[in-house]
Structure 1
Amino acid sequence: MKRTTFLLVCGVALSFCQAQSETTDEETGAEEEHVELFTTPTTKMGAATSDFGYNLFRILASRDTTTNVFLAPISVSAVLTHLSLGGSERAQSQLFRALRYHTLQDPQLHNTLKDLLASVKVPGKGLSTAARIYLARRLRLKQDFFTLVEQQYGVRPKALMGGTKDMKDINDWVTQETGGKVQNFLTKALPRNSGLNAVSAAYFKGKWVTRFGESGVLENFQVEGGSPVRMPMMKQDNYPVKMGADSDLSCTIAQILLQDDVSMFIFLPDEVTSNMTLLEESLTAEFVQDLSMTLLPAQVSFTLPTLRFSYFTDLLPLLGDLGLSEWLDDPDLEKISAQPTKLGSVNHKVVMEMAPEGNQYPSATSPPSHLSLRVDRPFLYLIRDEASGALLLIGRVVNPKDLSI
C-alpha cells in the first residue's frame, strides 16, 4: 500500500515539477512561450487581491511560526479600498501599490472590485463579509466621502459617538452583515484618540461537492515538539481530489472541490513542522492558478480535521511591512477631513466552520483506493473562488487544540 502511494505521488510530483520549472534557451533552443493566466478585468482584480492577501499573510505568519494564523484577504482589500477614496492622489497611489492595484491599469477599478465582491458573496459560496470605516466625529468630516463610498460599495462610513456605545454599534453591525455568525467582534473599546478605524470580518462555511461518510471521529493530530492532540476528523474512502507533490517545498498539495465553483487547497508538509516559511513564501496568485491546471485527479482515502474556529487580530502593525510606513505617518486623507488624521486600527476577524455535508456521494462502484491522504499534522490551506481566482481565506493550522469559536 505504501509503495502504491509512493509511486503515484512521485508520478504526480514529476508532472507537477515539470510544469513549474522554466526551460532555458540552451536546453530547448527556443524561448518559452508565456501564457497569460489572467485575461479579464475580474480575474486580474482577483489576482491583485490574492497577491495582496499572500503578502499580508506572510507578514502575519512570520510574527510567530508556532501559532495558528488565519486571514480573509478579500474583506481587508475592501476596507482599505474604501479608505483610498478619501486620500490625495499621492496617498491613493501608495495604497494602490500595497493593494497590488498598480498592476491592473483598470480605469474602472472600483467597479471591477465591486463586481468581484458581489460575485464571491453569492449565497452558495458560503462567504459573508463586513468591511467599514469608522471615523472620529471631532474631525469635522466631509460628507462627500461618506456619499462616495456608499454609492460605490453600498456601505456608508460611520462617525463614532465615543465610549462603549461605539463598541456595541460595531459589534451589532458586523453580526448583522455576517448573518449572525461573527459575534463579539470587539472585546475592548477602540483607541481613544484614533481618528479612523477600519473594520473587516468574514465568515465562511462552504459545502463540499462530495460529502464525507464519517465525521467527529477523534484521532491524533501530530504537533511539533509535543504530544499528539485528539481532534475530530472527517473521513471518506474513494474521495475525489486533485493531487501532486513538490519536492522543492517538501509537501503534498491537494485541491478539493466545494460547491459553486469554490475549492480548498491543502499544503501538507512531509514532516511534522510548524515552520512553513518556505511554503508561505512560494504563494502567489500565478502559482496557485498554475496548480489548479496542473494537479492530477486521484481517488484517496481522505482524512481531514473538522475545523471550527474564530481568529481576531489588529493588522495595523503589519502595514508598514507592506510598504506603507510613509503613508501611515502621513496618510493625507484630505477628502475625509481638512484636519490631519491617522489610522488607529485595522481590526480583522475570521470565523470558519467545516462540516461533512456535500451534495453527492463518492463512487460506490470503484474499487477501494490504495492512496491515502491524512491531514493529521500541521498544514496550510486556502479557499479560492475558481471563477475569479480570488483568494477568500488562507490559514495555517499548527495546533488544533487552540481552535475554538
Structure 2
Amino acid sequence: MKRFSLLLMLAAVLSFCQAQSESGGEGEGLEEEPVELFTTPTTKLGAAVSDFGYNLFRALASRETSSNIFLSPISVSAALSQLSLGASEGSQRQLFRALRYHTLQDPQLHSTLKTMLASVTATGKGLSTAARLYLARRLRPKQDFFKAVEQQYGVRPKALMGGAKDVKEVNDWVSQQTGRKVLQFLAKPFPRAAGVNAVSASYFKGKWVTRFGQSGALDNFQVEGDVPVRVPMMQQDNYPVKMGSDSDLSCVIAQIQMQDGVSMFIFLPDGVTANMTLLEESLTAEFVQDLAMTLLPAKVSLTLPVLRLSFSTDLLPLLGDLGLSEWMENPELDNISTQRSKLSSLDHKVVMETAPEGSQYPDVASTHGHLTYRVDRPFLYLIRDEASGALLFIGRVVNPKGLTI
C-alpha cells in the first residue's frame, strides 16, 4: 500500500509539472527570475529565528544521535535577544551572527521581535512562552539595562537571592507564564558563578483544523534495532493534507493545517533505519518556505502518534557549535554590570500535547482518500507560524513510548 501511495503521489507531481511546462508559452527558454521569499521585516526576522533554530537543532541532534529531542527556537531567540541588549557593540555583532540577525538590517529589530512574539502567542495559536534573564547576586547590575529589557520585551531581568529560593522563584514564574503547563523548570539552583542565567520555556497545544475520528487505540510504532512498541495513535480517513516526496532525502513530507495560521510539517523517512542526518542538515527557512508553496493537496488515510512530551536541557554547551566559542570566554556584557560576567546557563524546557480535536469534520463522502500516510516509525516534525514563517517547535521522535509530561 505504501509503494502504491507513493506512485500515485509521484504521478500527481509529474502531472502538475507537465501542466506547468505546457502552460509556459512565451516564457519558454528564458531564465527564471529568483523569487524573494521574505519581503517584510517580520518575515525576514521569522526566517532568521528559524535558521537559528535549525542550526541549534542540528547541534543538539549531533550530540544526541539516537534520542528524542525537542526545541522551541523562538523562546531561545527571545532570551538571547534580551541578553544582546547588555552586550558591547562587538559582542552584540557576534551574538547577532549566531542568531542570524546579521543580514536583517532592521534598526527596529527588538520591536519587530516583540511584535512577532505577541502575534505567535496570541489566543488561539496554542503557544505560550517564557524568556527571562536572572543575574547572580554578586553582580551589581546597571539599572539602564533592566529598563531597556523591560521596555522592549515586557519582562524585567531579576537578581537572584541564592539557593532554593531561586529555584522556587524561577519555577513559579515559568509556570505562571505558561498557564501552569511547564512545571518544575529548574531541578537545582543555578551555577554559583557570578554570571547571567538565561531561561526559556514553551508550551504548545495547537488544534487541528480537521479533527480525527479515532484516537487512543494502541498500535505498533517501529523502533530501530528493537521490537515495535505499542503507542496511542490518532487515525482518520479522507484527511486533507499537502504532500510530496523527496527522493534525495528519502522521505515523504506532509503539511497538516492547524487553527489560527499554524501548521505541522512531518518528515517521514522511507525506512525505520534511515539516517536522518541528511534530512536534518537540509532544513533551512528557505527550504521549508519552498515546501509550503509546492506541496500538493491530497486526501489521505492519516495515522499519527498521540504526542504528550516534556523535554529539558541546558543549551549553553551548544553555543560553541554556532560559532560562539570565543564569545563565551569573553562575552563583554558591559551594559549589564561593571563587573566581568559570562552567560552561566541557558536552560530550556518545552512541553507539547497533541489531541484529536478540530473545528471541522473530514469529508466522509470523498472518494479521493486512496493515499496512506502512516507515521509509525521514527520521524522529524516542525511547527511553523504561517504569517511570519517563524519556527515555533522542532522535534525528532525515535520512540514515542517514553514521552510523557
Do Structure 1 and Structure 2 share a fold, with TM-score over 0.5?
yes
Greater shift after overlay, 347-356 or 358-367?
358-367
Q: Do the aligned residues in 2 keep the contact of 1:251 with 1:269 (CA within 8 Å)?
A: yes
Map 1:148-159 to 2 at 5 A. 148-159=148-159
Map 1:70-219 to 2 at 5 A. 70-219=70-219
Partner of 2:340: 340
Identity of aligned residues (%): 75
Partner of 1:325: 325
Partner of 1:25: none
Q: Do the aligned residues in 2 keep the contact of 1:48 with 1:99 (CA within 8 Å)?
A: yes
Partner of 2:23: none
Query: 5+ residue gaps in structure 2?
Result: 19-27
Distance 1:16 1:186 in 2: 52
**Structure 1 counterpart SS, 2:244:** strand
Q: Do the aligned residues in 2 keep the contact of 1:12 with 1:243 (CA within 8 Å)?
A: no
RMSD of aligned C-alpha atoms? 1.5
**Per-residue deviation, 1:4:** 4.3
Shift in alpha-carbon separation, 1:200–1:12, aligned structure 2, 3 A: farther
Shift in alpha-carbon separation, 1:301–1:146, aligned structure 2, 3 A: same
**Per-residue deviation, 1:364:** 2.1
Distance 2:275 2:186 in 1: 30
- Write out the 4+ residue segments of structure 1 that deviate beyond 4 Å after TM superposition: 1-4, 12-18
Distance 1:270 1:361 in 2: 29
Map 1:213-362 to 2 at 5 A. 213-273=213-273, 275-362=275-362
Amino acid at match of 1:70: F
Map 1:8-87 to 2 at 5 A. 8-12=8-12, 14=14, 30-87=30-87
**Structure 1 counterpart SS, 2:102:** helix
Amino acid at match of 2:319: L
**Structure 2 counterpart SS, 1:124:** coil
TM-score normalised according to structure 1 size: 0.95
Q: Deviations over 1:302-343 (max 9, x none)?
A: 000000010000000000110111110001011001111111
Q: Do the aligned residues in 2 keep the contact of 1:211 with 1:358 (CA within 8 Å)?
A: yes
TM-score normalised according to structure 2 size: 0.95
Distance 1:372 1:146 in 2: 54
Q: Do the aligned residues in 2 keep the contact of 1:12 with 1:245 (CA within 8 Å)?
A: no
Q: Do the aligned residues in 1 keep the contact of 2:239 with 2:301 (CA within 8 Å)?
A: yes
Q: Deviations over 1:5-61 (max 9, x none)?
A: 13222235657999xxxxxxxxx8643311000011100000000000000000001
Corresponding pairs, count: 396
Distance 1:275 1:35 in 2: 32
Greater shift after overlay, 119-128 or 29-38?
29-38
Query: 5+ residue gaps in structure 1?
Result: 19-27
Distance 1:118 1:180 in 2: 19
